[in-house]
Structure 1
Amino acid sequence: MDSEHYRAQFRGIFDALANGDSRPFVAAMADDFTWTMRAADSPWGRSWRGKRAVREELFAPLFAQFATPYRNHAHRILVDGDTVVVLCRGDVVTRAGRPYCNEYCFVIRMRGAQMIELVEYLDTALVHAVLAPPVLAA
């Protein structure tokens, strides 16, 4: 895959996310996908290994805190070989009525058209101020 293909792929993914549609993002995750949130001082700071773990242990408890559809707007997409860097801003209101509009830097490693690793850098002070710790479904 070349740089322009990845740039177009992620423009499409983030155009959908900007409209509250996460399906293209989830579809691009490989089954062995790993998501690492760099938030060492937060209960959210850890790695999730496997697409299923990401959906059940990260997305489910996170999205359960949201009262409005989650939207994410990409400001810049940079590509170098099989690495894609996305600078973006999330936009959602929590069930507690608080806005959660975090700024992110996603560093994504690709294998063909599939994401195999995402490292997330974010404002951890905002995470502490707005989000409750993750609660996993029984």
Structure 2
Amino acid sequence: MNPSNRFAWAALLMLATLICATGTAGAAEPLSERNRQVIERAFADWTSGKGSFFEDVISPDVVWTIQGSGPAAGVYRGRQEFLHRAVRPFAQRLATPIVPRVQAIWAQGNQVVVRWNGTATARDGAPYRNEYVWIFDMHDDRAVRVEAFLDLAPYQDVIDRIPLAAEQDSRRAG
């Protein structure tokens, strides 16, 4: 992982530690716990191949920000835009779905921070592994804002290395 990514990870872990250390009081406790459970359940379902994480948890009007630099980094407005521009082009290059393994979940009020590892196999047989930190802003059991941190190099490597099926077909025909 490059030094700037290490800095981002360290900052996020410090944020998560601060959230846990400060705790919550009164009415915020049930809200924090409910939001934590929503995200924990969604990740458990994703891990076991149930449901659809993005449909089950993410608001249709989400603002999803991928931090970092590179073609995938940026702000996606709406679940469909995020799925169309970031998730599907990547998932179509995988032979297996990403399987998440949650390292930790922290919650305070409407914010939930999840640190997780994802593994999959690309269509060319090579393994894909990455570490993620996602910060969710929750409203009525839906994520309305998400800030995502990951190492974009392995993600972009899969995008660059493996053509989509339609691209392969046109190369064969040409």
**TM-score band w.r.t. shorter chain:** 0.7 to 0.9
Task: Look up the SS of the partner of 1:52 in the other structure.
Answer: helix
User: Which of 128, 132, 154 is matched with 1:126 structurally?
Assistant: 154
Deviation of 1:54 after TM superposition, in Å, equals: 1.5
Deviation of 1:99 after TM superposition, in Å, equals: 1.0
8 Å contact 2:32–2:111 — kept in the other structure?
no
User: Which of 32, 35, 40 is matched with 1:6 structurally?
Assistant: 35
Counterpart code for 1:14: F
Q: What does 1:108-123 correspond to in 2, within 5 Å?
A: 108-123=136-151
Change (3 A) 1:99 1:21: farther
| Corresponding residue number in structure 1 for 2:64 | 35
Alignment partners' CA distance in 1, 2:153 and 2:88: 22
Task: Look up the SS of the partner of 1:102 in the other structure.
Answer: strand
8 Å contact 1:17–1:73 — kept in the other structure?
no
Aligned length: 135
More strand by share: 1
Confirm or deny that 1:60 pairs with 2:88: yes
**TM-score computed with the length of structure 2 as normaliser:** 0.70
Q: What does 1:47-86 correspond to in 2, within 5 Å?
A: 47-86=75-114
Q: CA RMSD in A?
A: 2.2
Alignment partners' CA distance in 1, 2:89 and 2:58: 19
- Higher relative contact order structure (alpha carbons within 8 Å, sequence separation ≥ 6): 1
Alignment partners' CA distance in 2, 1:14 and 1:60: 19
8 Å contact 1:20–1:70 — kept in the other structure?
no
User: Which of 36, 46, 59 is matched with 2:74 structurally?
Assistant: 46
Deviation of 1:22 after TM superposition, in Å, equals: 5.2
Residue segments in structure 2 that go unaligned for 5+ positions in a row = 1-29, 167-174
Change (3 A) 1:61 1:21: farther
Task: Look up the SS of the partner of 1:2 in the other structure.
Answer: helix
Deviation of 1:123 after TM superposition, in Å, equals: 1.6
Deviation of 1:127 after TM superposition, in Å, equals: 2.9
Task: Look up the SS of the partner of 1:117 in the other structure.
Answer: strand
4+ residue runs over 3 A deviation:
none
